[in-house]
Amino acid sequence: MGGKSKPQRTSITLAIFLILAACGPNDQGPPGATPATTADAPRSTATQVTCGMQVADDLTLSADMHCDSTALTVVGNGVTIDLNGFTLSGPGAGRRSWPLPNFDVVGLMVQADHVTIRNGTVQEFGMAVLLNDQRGVIVENVTASGNYYGLYVYKGSGNQIRNNRIVANVYGLHLQESAGNDVRGNELSRQTHHSPGGYGLYLYTSRDNWFEGNTIENNLNWGLWFSNSTGNTIVRNNIIGNDPQVSDDSGGNRFYDEQRREGNYWDDYRGTDDNGDGIGEVPYSIGGPGRAADIYPFIAANGWNSRTSQTLAPATPPPPPRSAPRAFVALADGRVALLDLGSRSVLTTWQAGTRGQLAVSPDGATLYAIVGEGDDCAVVAFDAATGWQRRQWPAPHAQALAATYDGTRVLISTDTVLLEIVLETGEIRSQQDGRDAVAITPSWKHNLVIVTGEDGWLSIVYLPDQHSPYGTRLPAAPLQAIDNRAGTRLFVVMHARPAVSVIDTEQFIETDTVPLGDADVRFIRIGPSPDGASLYVLDTANSRVWRVDLGSKRTLAELTLDGGAVDLAVSADGALVTVVVAGSTAGRAVILDSDLRPLASIALPQQPVRVVAPR
């Protein structure tokens, strides 16, 4: 965000890369910094290897080695570190540190280019191996286990990660802001889950990397997680028994090789191979908002080794699912109006008794609403097409709600607890973390949710353990919070702060702000475009709506409406913006295109209170 300018940081900023200070006697500074040197810093020799050494020449271990601080820092270009079958061990994986990487103690820290690390075990460090802004590094035949991070590549390019065993760490292989790396033949398995954690392969803001021939198996969270990362190729990998297998939040990654017409093996694939070419006939759907697919999934593990023919049937990606072009309007008399944005009409209305708090299921088939007041509050699930009441749950003093992206839960914040409704079983679980929320933002990570509290406390709530292990304080009390569809950014409007705060939900820092000029924030409503490139802003005090490019902060379009504008919603494909406007006795919904050109006006039978659309 913000083009090439340095991200603005405010009081919620976590100084994410001031984290090498605890790396032992030779403080290396933040990733990307030139390593510190001192006159008496030990250097490698043919016979002496000591903890804290800065290695400038080739080095071969001749025995196991234990270090309570960072073990070896490679500072010489072209150096080879041969562990020679021995084990380099540390004091333990250390503290849970998310959203900060755990750089407390590093086994092998590489701060030079064209280095080779091979043949041994690195265990029980904060990071087993760290490539810190390096190029042309080879890491091969290394076992990393019992660490917080197995292998961490920061701003790396042109590196080769091959034939390693990265097992039983909190995080397996992590690439951050890295491009053009080649990852082949590795085992990325059995990572543990320390909330968060348990990822076999984790990419953040990384592109154009190649992953082939890896086994990603039995990790306690996601096998593969792609966050704000595009252009990566994933082919001929075995993805087995992860919980869940994969999520891609941005799209633009290729889970197959078109030239070879080959994809990956997914052990939960349920398609068939009718023509016997080893490739399933139906694409494998990749989880997450990127809506990707593996269109050439293998039906057997290592199926590429036993193929006797080329792929016989051409495959095409399935069309992305499309939510119906609809919107739901909460009316002042408690009714809900269902709008068909295609035909520009009100399809139906029904009495819901809602005050305006609505949430839509991911498939658009169910509308959830808070109804009633005080002790009599409840959450009701309505059939979104007919208004028929499906289910109801008591929720005294409910004030915010959301439906999770996997469609399995409804979350409700009250003045005392956060309620989690498990839809399959009807179980209602309660916890104190997450009460008094302005907004609940489900994460695409199936077990996490972000809660923006009335008191300005922004917290990550981990649902399985019913607690909030991480949180931070916003600069001011929030008025509204909403995420982009990928879930990578949270947009927050706050009291007495004339800008929209942009929060990176992976790193939990403010990365940008969107100025609001002289608009009174008490009358601001916002809605991001699904691709996260634009933000729509509605000033209800002046019935003015405008679209801001989030890269340049330039206003791309604006429009002033007649009447009293109340709220806005952006359609799932980003093509339509619905603004509801109150009149003296009734109201209307104004349908705009993405450039805020009016397309239609739909009469409403009562004044509108709120509008939501499937995402």
pLDDT at 256: 95
Q: What is the mean pLDDT of residues 68-88?
A: 96
Output the six-digit token pair for 211.
């992953």
Give percent of the chain above pLDDT 70: 88
pLDDT, mean over the chain? 87
Question: In the predicted model, is pLDDT for residue 459 greater than 70?
Answer: yes
Do 581 and 606 contact (CB within 8 A), yes or no?
Answer: no
pLDDT at 474: 92
Query: Measuring CA to CA, how many Å separate 310 from each of 10, 210, 239, 314?
Result: 56, 22, 22, 11
pLDDT at 287: 83
Structure confidence by residue, pLDDT tens digits, 229-255: 999 999 999 999 998 899 898 889 999
Do 202 and 172 contact (CB within 8 A), yes or no?
Answer: yes
Structure confidence by residue, pLDDT tens digits, 5-37: 333 333 333 233 323 333 333 333 333 333 333
Pairing of strands 378-383, 389-394: antiparallel
Kindly report the backbone phi and psi dihedral angles of residue 523, in degrees, each rounded to the nearest multiple of 5, phi listed first.
-115, 20
Q: What is the mean pLDDT of residues 400-422?
A: 92
Q: What is the mean pLDDT of residues 554-564?
A: 96
Burial class for 306, CB neighbours closer than 10 Å (0-12, 13-18, 19+): exposed
Burial class for 340, CB neighbours closer than 10 Å (0-12, 13-18, 19+): middle
Output the six-digit token pair for 407.
């469609």
- Transcribe 402-462 into DSSP letters: EE-TTSSEEEEE-SS-EEEEETTT--EEEESTT-SEEEEEE-SSTTEEEEEETTSEEEEEE
pLDDT at 482: 95
pLDDT at 144: 98
Q: Which residue has the higher pLDDT, 186 or 356?
A: 186
Q: What is the DSSP letter of 12?
A: T
Question: In the predicted model, is pLDDT for residue 336 greater than 80?
Answer: yes
Q: What is the mean pLDDT of residues 399-419?
A: 92
Question: In the predicted model, is pLDDT for residue 2 greater than 60?
Answer: no
pLDDT at 6: 32
pLDDT at 321: 55
What domains does the chain contain, in order, with CATH numbers? 53-254 (2.160.20.10), 255-321 (no CATH)
Question: In the predicted model, is pLDDT for residue 484 greater than 70?
Answer: yes
Structure confidence by residue, pLDDT tens digits, 425-435: 989 998 878 89
